[in-house]
Amino acid sequence: MKPCEIHYLLGQASTAREQFPNGIHTFALYWITWEAYRTRMLAIATRLCGWSIDDAYCAIGAKGISNQSTYRGCFKKITGIELAEQRGMLGRVWKNLDDIEALRHRLIHGYRGANPILIGNAIDFLDIVLTNHERIFGKLTIVLEGQQIELGNVLAQRPATGRSIRIRRERQELIQCLQPKRQLSKLPDSDVIKRLQRVVEELDPSDLRN
């Protein structure tokens, strides 16, 4: 997602939090925003390591990162940084994000419910992390050919830290690094919309009552 889209998502989540501070749908909005943010963070980190931003999103999309553990592995392969082993605030935040992911699985997949207080605490935590993302993650330092580069604000429209870095690495090298299990294919939104509309139109209302 583009930075403006992630900001929009965060705004929607914040509005939902004001009305439903313990709502499962509020939690879902915050977790979607977090996943969008972490994808953006990996894409910018990949850019700082010498690949283009387009190649970064292509490879990340083909990898299909669906959980914290896989994400950490990809981040380490690209940057050499193990997020779970970072000292201070970042390490503590990451540990809590892993715990919240377990809550996400049981709610989103419908395994079982959760105490509203727990959901509310998770929402509060995600709000703080996403609102203060630059303070928490921005100081991560990536080493490129002996040069130390801070990750910075990955939601800036054009992150300043990546502007002066020459694109020097090929997409194939990145794909080999991440080892995606599938080829990236994208069905245009317009095609999906038409297909969904066709199914809805074909449904007989009487079928829904049986």
Q: Which residues contact 6 (CB under 8 A, 6 or more apart)?
A: 33, 36, 37, 40, 155
- The DSSP-derived string for 4-20 is HHHHHHHHHHHHHHHH-
Q: What pTM was estimated for this model as a whole?
A: 0.86
Read off the DSSP letter of residue 178.
H
Could you read off the pLDDT of 158-191 as tens digits, one per residue? 765 555 677 878 888 888 888 876 665 566 678 8
CA-CA distances (angstroms) from residue 45 to 63, 146, 172? Answer: 16, 16, 17
Distance CA(50)–CA(74), nearest Å, equals 16
The DSSP H or E segment spanning 30 is helix 24-48
Could you read off the pLDDT of 17-64 as tens digits, one per residue? 999 999 999 999 999 999 999 999 999 999 999 999 999 998 998 888
